[in-house]
Amino acid sequence: MRIGVITSIDTQLGKGIILDENEQEIEFHFSSLKDELVLCSQVGFEIELAEDGLVAVGLIQIKS
């Protein structure tokens, strides 16, 4: 499981961006959310290869 922080959320497009621990920006789709998340939430996730590149899936909020 990878760890990152949500840096962008676009509710109109149903997408967001996570900045992971390697400073890589990874897109996610709201359909892959398991928890309700907000900007700056720390999340755990897996990565899959989609038609438009790497996407984060199975996002879960990491409680601190």
Residue with the larger pLDDT of the pair 36 and 12: 12
User: Quick one: average pLDDT of 8-18?
Assistant: 92
Q: What class is the 2-61 domain? A: mainly beta
| pLDDT on residue 19 | 97
| pLDDT on residue 64 | 65
| pLDDT on residue 23 | 95
The tens digit of pLDDT for each residue in 19-64 reads 999 999 999 988 766 667 789 999 999 999 999 899 999 999 998 6
| Region of residue 25 (left: phi > 0; alpha: psi -120 to 50; beta: else) | beta
CA–CA gap between residue 9 and residue 18 (Å, rounded): 9
Residue-range domain boundaries for the chain: 2-61
Joined together, the tokens standing for residue 55 give 């996407």
